[in-house]
Amino acid sequence: MTTTALMNQQFRLAARPVGMPKRSDWEQTTEPVRDINDGEIVVKALYLSLDPAMRGWMNEGKSYIRPVAIGETMRAGGVGVIVASKSDKFAVGDTVSGGIGVQQYWVGAADDKSANFYKISPAMAPLTTWLNTLGMPGMTGYFGLIESGQPKAGDTVVVSGAAGAVGMTVGQVAKQLGCRVVGIAGGKEKCDFVVNELGFDACIDYKNSSVKDGLKEHCPGGVDVFFDNVGGEILDTVLTRINLRARIVICGAISQYNNTTPVKGPANYLSLLVNRARMEGIVVFDYADRYHVGVAAMAKWMQEGTFKSREDVVDGLENFPEALLMLFEGKNFGKLVLKVADA
């Protein structure tokens, strides 16, 4: 295959967004795929992962990962297929997961550290599941809950963003560990899903009911672990209901990512003092050397039928800007992925 015959469409960051990202914050470019040198590969994107964390990567400033530069192709994880290889590491036809970026083709060294491609098995689970339960969100939920949340059987675990990619995993892992699990999600449909399909004990619909009342009703013994994906008022409300030595896992704060005003800090943080409780931040990359453990555990549960993965697929690379906004508007239902091409 002559890769130079391939044209590559890309979304590049044109401007740092203020508040919600607009289409004008992106520049669409098309360029030919260059010839590859020894050790290099070309990955054809099939599905891209759309994640709340992407919003943070668009801002300047020190974080756990460097910001995407103006003019740079937007960073994104994805699954794809090797269409050209001058590396022993991957053969043409291999299915891989890694940092493809918001584009049709990724070109570079097979052992590129930041892209971090690794082979995945399409026979083991659908491709989109490798971006969800068996990918970053799944690893975030699995290791963040177990290592930072330290749930014990009988604990009450509350998770916000319960119908999102990470939240679904957290709740289901907690159920596997024998915990009482209460989700917080937006809307009746999502709440019904996590209770009826995923087996959560209860779900509080923050859009149509009081989170405070819901916690009183569904967590009569208080909250031992809170896995927070949203921040803002919900974090503050849960802080009023935590138990002695509760663990609060700070995974994200999607309610705050597009703020043009300062982030709302948790005014009730002194509940940590009263309850000798802990609030800890997590980043999935820290668990990279153990991903295989999480993949094996959850793949087994899925094969046994006691664990579910759900993805919400938007079709077409050109729809990237609008698809990304779905995350911040709470419109996706399950892990949001962008389909770029057929395998």
Nearer to its own copies, 36 or 53 (CB): 53
Nearer to its own copies, 98 or 231 (CB): 231
- Rounded least distance, CB 232 to its own copies, Å: 10
Nearer to its own copies, 69 or 274 (CB): 274
Q: Copy the structure tokens of residue 271.
A: 């509940």
d(C-alpha 135, C-alpha 295), whole Å = 8
- Rounded least distance, CB 248 to its own copies, Å: 9
Q: What is the dihedral of CA 134, 164, 205, 301, to 10 degrees?
A: -10
| 3-class secondary-structure state, position 10 | strand
Nearer to its own copies, 162 or 251 (CB): 251
Q: Which residues fall within 8 angstroms of residue 196, CB to CB, at 6 or more apart?
A: none
d(C-alpha 329, C-alpha 178), whole Å = 32
Residues binding its own copies (CB under 8 A)? 62-64, 231, 236, 250-253, 256, 262-283, 286
Nearer to its own copies, 17 or 56 (CB): 56
- Rounded least distance, CB 144 to its own copies, Å: 10
- Rounded least distance, CB 63 to its own copies, Å: 5
Q: Copy the structure tokens of residue 30.
A: 């098309």
d(C-alpha 319, C-alpha 55), whole Å = 17
- Rounded least distance, CB 143 to its own copies, Å: 12
- Rounded least distance, CB 146 to its own copies, Å: 15
Q: Which residues fall within 8 angstroms of residue 284, CB to CB, at 6 or more apart?
A: 136, 139, 140, 143, 144
d(C-alpha 120, C-alpha 98), whole Å = 10
